[in-house]
Amino acid sequence: MTNGDNFGLEEPIDALDSAVTKFSHFGMSRADIWALASLEGARGAQANGDDLPFSMDWFGRKTCEKTNADSDCVENDCSAKRGPHRDLPSPHLDTHEMLSFFNETFGFQEPWETVAIMGAHTLGTLARQNSGFNGPNGWLGNTNRLDSGYYNALIGGTLTDFQSTNFEAMMNAGDWNQVFINNDDVAAPNRWEWERNTNPHFVMLNADIALVRDLSGGLIADEEGQVAEVRLIIVHFIWHLTWNVS
């Protein structure tokens, strides 16, 4: 929890403590409970009528203190809130950097795998005090539903637009604009984020926009994430995924 990328995670960690204690005698570890919670969250967030399986196929995951020596962990304390340092993907990755990160870190071989995992941004919100991003309404407003809305909002347009020949009009339909977020009043870096609408506003990060825009060479402030130039790109795998996966 000393890693700024993890700010805010102490809330679900603390909320799951009682379940960790209750089921430990069944041989379920803290890591198992955390995995189960994420699966249940995905299952419960499906749209009405959807019932895709998110099964817990096995248990026995090892916890941080079981797999590391204390000397390997932050503050020499391997525990629920202390572990080895792990670099998380920057919110300002361009397309190539993002695909490379998930390939090197998780072994994703195909671009669609990265596109699919980014779809988790259909859930949740962004708090300035945690990440520096101002997204109380999340990426697309409905912060508790796991569906393909993220892809629809990211690309913009409708199925009719996709069937038309005016590709540039379709790509611009998302109408995302960069907005500067001043975080001098909280313990977070200043940020540039992409916003759509004003009241309420919805948010995308550079890493989101990079799925459908070429940001390579356009980032001029690594920590804050301002983009100097955006080039439209057609990414076949997200086009296909948007209309064929929910």
Tell me how far apart the alpha carbons of residues 35 and 102 are, in angstroms, rounded to a whole number.
19
Q: Taking Cα atoms as reference points, which of 229, 216, 219 lies closest to residue 191?
A: 219
Residue 69 pLDDT? 95
Per-residue pLDDT at 18 exceeds 60: yes
Q: Which pLDDT tens digit goes with each residue over 181-205?
A: 999 999 888 999 999 877 889 999 9
Question: pTM for the complete prediction?
Answer: 0.83
Q: What share of the chain is helix, strand, coil (3-state, %, to 5)?
A: 40, 10, 50
Enumerate the domain spans of the chain.
Answer: 4-76, 95-244
Helix (H, G, I), strand (E, B) or coil at 142: coil
Helix (H, G, I), strand (E, B) or coil at 109: coil
Tell which CATH classification among 3.40.50.800, 1.10.357.10, 1.10.420.10, 1.10.10.1590 matches the domain 95-244: 1.10.420.10
Two structure tokens written together for 138: 């999340």
